[in-house]
Structure 1
């Protein structure tokens, strides 16, 4: 294929299997409380569940509403217009599923070949996909383990176009496979292609897949980009293989960077956190930094506000609740922690040996923590101490994908299945 190769849908059609149901006129509607989750860590990529009202007392148990076998992978479920979408792997194929949210019934299924040999040391995590899809304006964009970006029609499952940069970089993914989750801004889908050694951040036209701009020569990391506004400039903040960077979203113009490269086997994996003009960045065995990008007299710079090394982030991305950062440090074989955003002071840590990874969501007064051992914990958001309010067993293990919290349920993707656990009691007066 030519550099930045683009494949139209009619050249490489997916294998489609419709299973009942009538597609609505428009899959995407205005976000509503608890019913819209368009990608990695939600609408603003910060894990905040807008409109969710926690109960005064959490139920003792959860009830399983439905469960479907979807295949392996760590991608987040997407939710819109009473449908659930899941990207996964079955055998040598990557699969995109669409289910009815209420029943778990299959609306459509698409698959395509995605052969992949996992790099040494990553066998435990399998062959992906590890990226989470993103949804916008009736389209779903999936980033496969091999670094192929595909656009799909969300209503029908029709494959619209695909793109990779194999010809330019020999392959479009780092050593353990593509993990970065694409993000959409206006008519641009933005993602990083390339290998550990070289790559580029790219904006593609959502309708055609044609390149709008590309920026930089650094390879991608396993982290995912954010869309933020700093001093009136809308920009993509991304942690690549070498540095944290800020790039103007519309034009692709380079704005600023803070070098924070991977060191040996310590990779760049968590998604940065943005809060009130600050970027919080944590790296494996490298602590957590508080950074402030700023523009003065037309020139951008980055101020280091603090750098604490008591806790660090390995694969787990942290979330904000109030003025506090909640995360999971890989030290002591895994500990939840709470950190003051203004000072970088660690306020408390949970017990050690919790697990290998935790996926977080943030709701009023609480943090939702899905541990990789299949436990879902509801933890009080407070400065004083680790205070779990409820713990549920939602899977036997293998829960590395982010959960999705709805008004009346929680979606959990484990090693092979997707399950909807009911929180119906919360909508029947329990609040």
Structure 2
């Protein structure tokens, strides 16, 4: 049992592996961009000084795909592809050795222009209450027992749609909020947001007004109302988690090949995101009595997000623009003013994690840059650059405690930082 787990956790582990009682703040990475989808780790202990290199603990071949690994106590879960099958791995966190493995056939041919990204999976699983939920490249949702890999239920959304995924395949990640599981499926022309019972997979409500896209939603409480904030095919909107009612919306439609892919970030009651070739924008959400409004605070085309999601770190928004053949940037969340631009030709994609006073930036060439941003109004500086892979690092990393998981190509590697302050 890993250091930091309580006696209550150890007791629960004796009764049921991966009981929800065992989850401590520093022992889990339960889904896309972490437990709250912010990619922020305020409790990370920053090394002083940063090492010449983190320690490489183990490397395991798991298969292709862009799914982020999950870390649940002493287990790692990885959704990947081996040949004609998708695979869900459960690995030992200390050794990388398999605890169990489940596979199932999934046929998928990438749409034109997406061939080099392969047949997935691209969606990141979600963990809740002892279950792992996977969303395949073809739009099929499955629930598994985290303890032993037993299949619990499956939803094939082709019962609703001729095609249950957008043109380049499913990339959105499912999300669990209490006793509700959300997944947006269907094509770019015909889709639906499903609210399901995570225990059974049965519908609680279905919203059919918006088509599917590639972005993953988040769940937020705004003015006391719990809502799903989603960047779908039509734009950015807030949906009541209890009823599926549309609360507010900002039109920003997916146009042609310029898809809506990044996950929004929240700054106070403002949501910031962008779309390919269409720049960045910020939407402030408010309510007067029962009337909701979504006001555009700023918008510009100085930078533009493609497949990379931004992160909020120490008062700045960090992102990876596809302009200038790939360029990292930071901007002021209140005004949208660009504070810093990194070197051009930095790559095709970047993934970010925010820790105290720093941002970790992983580019698709396998380099991890440690950006120091101590002042919200000043340009960050690169304090370390690590080569963690030879390339093909399109997958977002997972960071728990001192452990950083990097998936590159078919390999998953656990890197470990020294103890911080």
**Does TM-score exceed 0.5, indicating one fold?**
yes
The answer to whether the 8 Å contact 1:67/1:418 transfers is: yes
- Assess if the C-alpha contact under 8 Å between 1:29 and 1:81 holds in 2: no
2:275 corresponds to which residue? 283
In the alignment, what sits opposite 1:8? none
Partner of 1:332: 324
Mapped partners of 2:294, 2:304: distance in 1: 21
Q: Partner residue of 1:145?
A: 137
Aligned to 2:305: 313
Q: How does 1:288-303 map to 2 (within 5 A)?
A: 288-303=280-295
1:33 shift after superposition: 4.6
Deviation of the 1:153 alpha carbon:
0.5
Contact 2:238/2:246, CA 8 A, preserved across alignment = yes
Other-structure match for 2:5: none
What is the match of residue 183 of structure 1? 175
* Contact residue 229 and residue 235 of structure 1 kept, 8 A: yes
1:25 to 5, 11, 16: 16
Query: After TM superposition, which residue ranges in structure 1, 4 or more long, deviate above 3 angstroms?
Result: 28-31
Please name the residue that 2:409 is paired with. Answer: 415
Pair 1:86-2:78 in alignment: yes
SS at match of 1:169: coil
Q: CA 1:177–1:23 in structure 2 vs 1: closer, same or farther (change >3 Å)?
A: farther
**Hey, what's the Cα distance between the residues in 2 that align with 1:291 and 1:33?**
30
For the 8 Å contact 1:34–1:50, the answer to whether it is kept is no
> Take 2:279 and 2:29, find their aligned partners in 1: how far apart are those partners?
30
Compute the TM-score of the two structures, normalised by the length of structure 1.
0.92
Distance 1:207 1:319 in 2: 32
Aligned partner (choices 50, 54, 60) of residue 52 of structure 2: 60
- Among 315, 329, 334, the alignment partner of 1:323 is 315
Distance (whole Å) between structure 2 residues aligned to residue 34 and residue 335 of structure 1: 31
One of 381, 384, 389 as aligned partner of 1:390: 384
Q: How many positions carry a matched residue from both structures?
A: 406
- Higher mean Cα deviation, 81-90 or 52-61? 52-61
Aligned to 1:232: 224
Call closer, same or farther: CA 1:180–1:204 in 2, change over 3 Å: same
Q: SS in structure 1 opposite 2:192?
A: strand
Instruction: Label 1:266 to 1:23 Cα distance change in 2 as closer, same or farther (>3 A).
Output: farther
Query: Which blocks of at least 5 consecutive residues in structure 2 are unaligned?
Result: 1-12
User: Deviation digits for residues 141-192 of structure 1, max 9, x if unmatched?
Assistant: 0000000000000011101001122132102100000000000011111010
CA distance in 1, matches of 2:384, 2:341: 18
Query: Equivalents in 2 of 1:50, 1:138: separation in Å?
Result: 25
Moved more, 237-246 or 152-161: 237-246
Shift of 1:23: 9.1
Q: 2:116 aligns to what SS in structure 1?
A: helix
The separation in 2 between residues aligned to 1:298 and 1:122, in whole angstroms, is: 43
Shift of 1:242: 1.2
**Partner in structure 1 of residue 148 of structure 2:** 156
SS in 2 for 1:362: strand
In the TM superposition, residue 296 of structure 1 has moved relative to its aligned partner by 1.4
CA distance in 2, matches of 1:275, 1:385: 19
Give the aligned partner of residue 399 of structure 1. 393
The 3-state SS of whatever aligns with 1:234 is strand
The 2-side partners of 1:281 and 1:420 are apart by 30
1:360·1:368 contact (CA, 8 Å) conserved in 2? yes
Aligned alpha-carbon RMSD (Å): 1.4
Provide the TM-score with structure 2 as the length reference. Answer: 0.94
Consecutive unaligned residues in structure 1, runs of 5 or more: 1-21
* Helix, strand or coil at the partner of 1:222: coil
- Check whether the contact 1:150–1:159 (CA below 8 A) recurs between aligned residues: yes
> What is the match of residue 211 of structure 2?
219
Q: Report the CA distance shift for 1:109/1:408 in structure 2 as closer, same or farther (over 3 A).
A: same
Distance 2:226 2:399 in 1: 28
Using a 3 Å threshold, how does the CA distance of structure 1 residues 414 and 23 change in structure 2: closer, same or farther? Answer: farther
Q: Deviations over 1:346-387 (max 9, x none)?
A: 111111111100111110000011110011111112432241
Contact kept, 8 Å, 2:172 with 2:215, in 1: the verdict is: yes
Match for residue 199 of structure 1? 191
- Counterpart position of 1:265: 257
The residue aligned with 1:5 is none
Deviating more after overlay: 255-264 vs 359-368: 255-264
Aligned to 1:362: 354
Deviation track 1:233-260 (CA, whole Å, cap 9, x = no partner) reads 1000101111211110122122111110
